[in-house]
């Protein structure tokens, strides 16, 4: 890669981001601007910001690499992303979140949940979970971006330098622009990601002789699957793993289900619903968001699986053998299979994917500290300093993320740490918050006690599951080894140790939420009735408009 081309290109790109961030900074005058962009974002900007925030280098590098190792069965993930992450998120959850959030004057995910059940404790515990666990997800994104930058430059730019580069760039425009600066830059970055993924998909199929030849060739090399993967259920890159096998549970419970439904409880995404001025904008954003997710999720998963055929044709090795680890598959494929000019473009795509997600993650961490934890503990007397506290919190979160990136980076992708760290965070958020969050939108009988019980029970079970039960993580922590002499408390070879804790933590959270809500009284009936009354009022207005329209047509 020619640095005389790369460096001016990156400088130009960063200059444009700086300009957009400055525009966001100039229009950020109060805390509501910094937190929610004044609640008047354009649906196109919101949809691209949502998609660019959701799809990161962990999705492209981490999950693309997992597809290179496990195959096209991971394509169930974009299906769930479109149906759950776009349609259900915008139409079902998004509209009520925006309506309730406006009435409750909520600016963060924690503040929304806390205000809905009149509980400062809910707001504080939500902020604490975001502050404690989101750095794991941000580290995964930062690692994915750094590995791409290192891989495409032939290690001329080291992993450590890459980490520093991305951290500094993101810090500048998150601290300056708030959510407005983030969303403006997200729109640009999302557009670049969309175009880059389309080019990558078309170029990959052209490289392998077309769609039919590529998939036929991938089917023909199914006998190259390593014995170790065959033993856990791998049946080829074009086939689903054997039902109820360890690999089946790994793919469908952790990677597909965990990320597929976990998107609904992502704080950095939920606040996007509250940035638009009306529900009409959410309707308009569905198609844009769905198409974006289809291309940006489907492409790396497809290309990751097809990379096996490319590497086999070139070297007689499958992708995981050629790259050494799943996290290195996509970087190595781009560096070897794609034309040099695409390397420059893909570099910008990866910078976009990383910075768009990292900026929103750091913003979520900063606002969780300032708005949820500090204000939750000490009241509104710190509200005038919300932006200042958020910015210092962002700096601290970046430092923690950098430390985690170096620590996890020592594994060198042997365990697919990028995708794994992403799935863990999504699983934690879904287990602890998805059911109480959904109940707050659709169930009037949700009580403060029920909400707290659902959050704490889900968090306790999912964290316990990762520490003791789920083999891949339990092996790393070593607690099960200390207690019972094996990697998981489940028997060696048992399929149960491959079942993601989300599978049992989420139902427990739901049961706890319902039972404790039915056993206690609603503490804030006036607020609840007002929130749901807004929905009834809106529906009546819509019916009246339809009747007036029909009457007008008949009169004509």
Q: Per-residue pLDDT for 23 more than 80?
A: no
Q: For residues 423 and 417, give the distance between their C-alpha atoms in angstroms, rounded to a whole number.
A: 10
Contact of 258 with 431, CB cutoff 8 Å: no
DSSP state for residue 277 in the 8-state scheme: S
Highest mean predicted confidence (pLDDT) among 32-36, 404-408, 543-547: 404-408
Task: Write out pLDDT tens, residues 318-368.
Answer: 999 998 888 889 888 988 888 888 877 777 777 777 777 777 778 788 888
pTM of the entire predicted model: 0.81
Q: Per-residue pLDDT for 495 more than 90?
A: no
Half-sphere exposure of 340 (CA within 13 A, CB side): 7
Find, among 392, 398, 389, the residue nearest to 355 by Cα: 398
Q: For residues 7 and 516, give the distance between their C-alpha atoms in angstroms, rounded to a whole number.
A: 58
* Rg for the chain, CA atoms, rounded: 23
Q: For residues 325 and 412, give the distance between their C-alpha atoms in angstroms, rounded to a whole number.
A: 8
DSSP state for residue 72 in the 8-state scheme: G
φ/ψ of residue 73, rounded to 5: -60, -20
Q: Which of these ranges, 178-192, 281-295, 537-551, has the smallest mean pLDDT?
A: 537-551
Q: How far is CA 298 from CA 147, 244, 285, 290, 500, in A?
A: 21, 25, 19, 11, 23
Terminal-residue alpha carbon distance, the chain: 67
Q: For residues 396 and 479, give the distance between their C-alpha atoms in angstroms, rounded to a whole number.
A: 29
Q: Between helices 329-337 and 340-367, what is the axis angle to 10°?
A: 150
pLDDT band at 544 (very low <50, low <70, confident <90, very high): very low
Spatial CB neighbours of 362, under 8 Å, sequence gap ≥ 6: 138, 170, 171, 174, 394, 397, 398, 401
Q: Which of these ranges, 95-104, 178-187, 260-269, 488-497, has the smallest mean pLDDT?
A: 178-187
Contact of 301 with 237, CB cutoff 8 Å: no
pLDDT band at 203 (very low <50, low <70, confident <90, very high): very high
pLDDT band at 433 (very low <50, low <70, confident <90, very high): very high
DSSP string, 290-305: HHHHHHHHHHHHHHHH
Q: Per-residue pLDDT for 522 more than 70?
A: yes
Highest mean predicted confidence (pLDDT) among 282-296, 410-424, 528-542: 282-296
Q: For residues 259 and 256, give the distance between their C-alpha atoms in angstroms, rounded to a whole number.
A: 6
* Per-residue model confidence (pLDDT) at position 159: 79
pLDDT band at 440 (very low <50, low <70, confident <90, very high): very high
Structure tokens at 508: 């427990």
DSSP string, 314-372: HHS--HHHHHSSGGGHHHHHHHHHS-HHHHHHHHHHHHHHHHHHHHHHHHHHHHIIIII
Q: Per-residue pLDDT for 121 more than 90?
A: yes
* Per-residue model confidence (pLDDT) at position 384: 59
Find, among 169, 167, 172, 179, the residue nearest to 24 by Cα: 179
Residue in the block written with tokens 């941000």: 138
* Per-residue model confidence (pLDDT) at position 549: 47
* Per-residue model confidence (pLDDT) at position 546: 43
CATH of domain 3-409: 1.20.1730.10
* Per-residue model confidence (pLDDT) at position 311: 94
Q: For residues 63 and 503, give the distance between their C-alpha atoms in angstroms, rounded to a whole number.
A: 20
Contact of 54 with 232, CB cutoff 8 Å: no
* Per-residue model confidence (pLDDT) at position 539: 47
Task: Write out pLDDT tens, residues 26-55.
Answer: 655 544 444 444 455 555 566 666 666 666
What percent of the chain has a predicted confidence (pLDDT) above 90? 28
pLDDT band at 184 (very low <50, low <70, confident <90, very high): low
Q: Which of these ranges, 43-57, 412-426, 516-530, has the smallest mean pLDDT?
A: 43-57
Q: Per-residue pLDDT for 416 more than 50?
A: yes
pLDDT band at 385 (very low <50, low <70, confident <90, very high): low
* Per-residue model confidence (pLDDT) at position 293: 82
Helix locations, 71-224, DSSP H:
76-82, 95-104, 109-116, 120-152, 159-207, 211-220
* Per-residue model confidence (pLDDT) at position 309: 94
Length of the chain: 556
Q: Per-residue pLDDT for 545 more than 50?
A: no
pLDDT band at 24 (very low <50, low <70, confident <90, very high): low
Task: Write out pLDDT tens, residues 92-118.
Answer: 888 888 888 888 888 788 889 999 999
Q: Which of these ranges, 57-61, 451-455, 515-519, 525-529, has the smallest mean pLDDT?
A: 57-61
C-beta pairs of 334-342 under 8 Å, 24+ apart in sequence = 334/148, 334/151, 334/152, 334/200, 335/151, 335/152, 335/154, 337/204, 337/207, 337/307, 337/310, 338/200, 338/203, 339/203, 340/1, 342/199, 342/200, 342/203
* Per-residue model confidence (pLDDT) at position 444: 92
Spatial CB neighbours of 447, under 8 Å, sequence gap ≥ 6: 117, 516, 517, 520, 521, 522, 523
**Chain-centre distance of CA 19, in angstroms?**
26
Helix locations, 238-278, DSSP H:
246-249, 259-262, 267-273
Higher pLDDT, 344 or 381: 344
Q: For residues 333 and 319, give the distance between their C-alpha atoms in angstroms, rounded to a whole number.
A: 9
Q: What is the mean pLDDT of residues 497-523?
A: 94
Find, among 467, 58, 494, the residue nearest to 300 by Cα: 58
Give the mean pLDDT of the chain: 80
Find, among 364, 416, 346, 442, the residue nearest to 170 by Cα: 364
* Per-residue model confidence (pLDDT) at position 179: 54
Q: For residues 118 and 450, give the distance between their C-alpha atoms in angstroms, rounded to a whole number.
A: 12
For the chain, give every domain's residue range.
3-409
Q: What is the mean pLDDT of residues 289-307?
A: 88
Q: For residues 109 and 123, give the distance between their C-alpha atoms in angstroms, rounded to a whole number.
A: 8
Q: What is the mean pLDDT of residues 75-82?
A: 84
Task: Write out pLDDT tens, residues 215-272.
Answer: 999 999 999 999 989 999 999 999 999 999 999 998 998 888 888 888 888 887 777 7
* Per-residue model confidence (pLDDT) at position 50: 65
Higher pLDDT, 402 or 53: 402
**Chain-centre distance of CA 458, in angstroms?**
19
* Per-residue model confidence (pLDDT) at position 43: 57
* Per-residue model confidence (pLDDT) at position 278: 66
Q: Per-residue pLDDT for 475 more than 90?
A: no
Structure tokens at 62: 């981490």
Half-sphere exposure of 169 (CA within 13 A, CB side): 25
* Per-residue model confidence (pLDDT) at position 85: 72
Higher pLDDT, 379 or 440: 440
Q: Which of these ranges, 159-168, 170-179, 262-271, 511-520, has the smallest mean pLDDT?
A: 170-179
């Amino acid at each position: 890669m020619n640095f005389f081309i790369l460096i001016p290109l990156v400088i130009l790109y960063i200059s444009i981001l700086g300009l957009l961030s400055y525009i966001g900074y100039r229009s950020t005058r109060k805390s509501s601007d910094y937190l929610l962009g004044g609640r008047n974002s354009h649906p196109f900007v919101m949809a691209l910001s949502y998609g660019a925030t959701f799809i990161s280098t962990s999705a492209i590098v981490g999950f693309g690499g997992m597809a290179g190792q496990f195959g096209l069965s991971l394509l169930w993930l974009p299906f769930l992303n479109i149906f759950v992450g776009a349609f259900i998120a915008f139409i079902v959850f998004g509209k009520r979140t925006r309506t309730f959030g406006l009435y409750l004057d909520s600016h963060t995910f924690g503040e929304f949940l806390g205000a809905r059940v009149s509980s400062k404790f809910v707001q504080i515990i939500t902020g604490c979970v975001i502050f404690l666990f989101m750095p794991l997800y941000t580290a995964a994104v930062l690692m994915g971006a750094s590995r791409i930058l290192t891989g495409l430059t032939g290690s001329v730019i080291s992993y450590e330098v890459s980490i520093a580069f991305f951290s500094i760039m993101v810090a500048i425009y998150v601290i300056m622009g708030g959510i407005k600066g983030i969303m403006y830059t997200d729109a640009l970055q999302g557009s670049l990601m969309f175009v880059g993924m389309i080019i990558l998909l078309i170029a990959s199929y052209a490289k392998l002789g077309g769609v039919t030849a590529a998939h036929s060739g991938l089917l023909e090399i199914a006998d190259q699957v390593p014995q170790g993967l065959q033993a856990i259920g791998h049946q080829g890159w074009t086939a689903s793993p054997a039902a109820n096998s360890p690999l089946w549970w790994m793919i469908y419970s952790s990677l597909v289900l965990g990320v597929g439904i976990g998107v609904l409880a992502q704080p950095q995404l939920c606040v996007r619903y509250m940035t638009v001025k009306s529900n009409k904008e959410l309707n308009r954003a569905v198609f844009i968001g769905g198409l974006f997710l289809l291309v940006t999720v489907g492409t790396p998963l497809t290309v990751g699986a097809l990379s096996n055929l490319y590497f086999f044709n070139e070297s007689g090795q499958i992708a995981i053998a050629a790259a050494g680890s799943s996290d290195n598959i996509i970087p190595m494929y781009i560096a070897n299979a794609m034309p040099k000019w695409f390397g420059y473009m893909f570099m910008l795509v990866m910078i976009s994917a990383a910075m768009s997600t990292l900026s929103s993650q750091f913003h979520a961490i900063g606002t969780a500290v300032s708005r949820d934890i500090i204000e939750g503990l000490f009241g509104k007397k710190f509200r005038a300093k919300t932006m200042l506290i958020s910015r210092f919190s962002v700096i601290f979160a970046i430092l923690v993320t950098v430390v985690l990136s170096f620590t996890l980076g020592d594994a060198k992708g042997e365990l697919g740490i990028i995708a794994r760290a992403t799935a863990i965070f999504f699983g934690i958020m879904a287990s602890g918050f998805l059911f109480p969050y959904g109940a707050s939108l659709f169930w009037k009988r949700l009580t403060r006690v029920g909400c707290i019980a659902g959050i704490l029970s889900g968090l306790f079970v999912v964290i316990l599951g990762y520490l003791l039960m789920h083999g891949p993580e339990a092996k790393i922590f070593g607690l099960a080894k200390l207690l019972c002499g094996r990697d998981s408390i489940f028997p060696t070879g048992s399929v149960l140790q491959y079942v993601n804790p989300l599978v049992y933590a989420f139902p427990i959270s739901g049961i706890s939420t319902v039972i404790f809500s039915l056993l206690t009284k609603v503490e804030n009936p006036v607020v609840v009735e007002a929130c749901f009354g807004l929905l009834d009022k809106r529906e009546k207005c819509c019916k009246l408009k339809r009747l007036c329209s029909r009457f007008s047509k008949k009169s004509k």
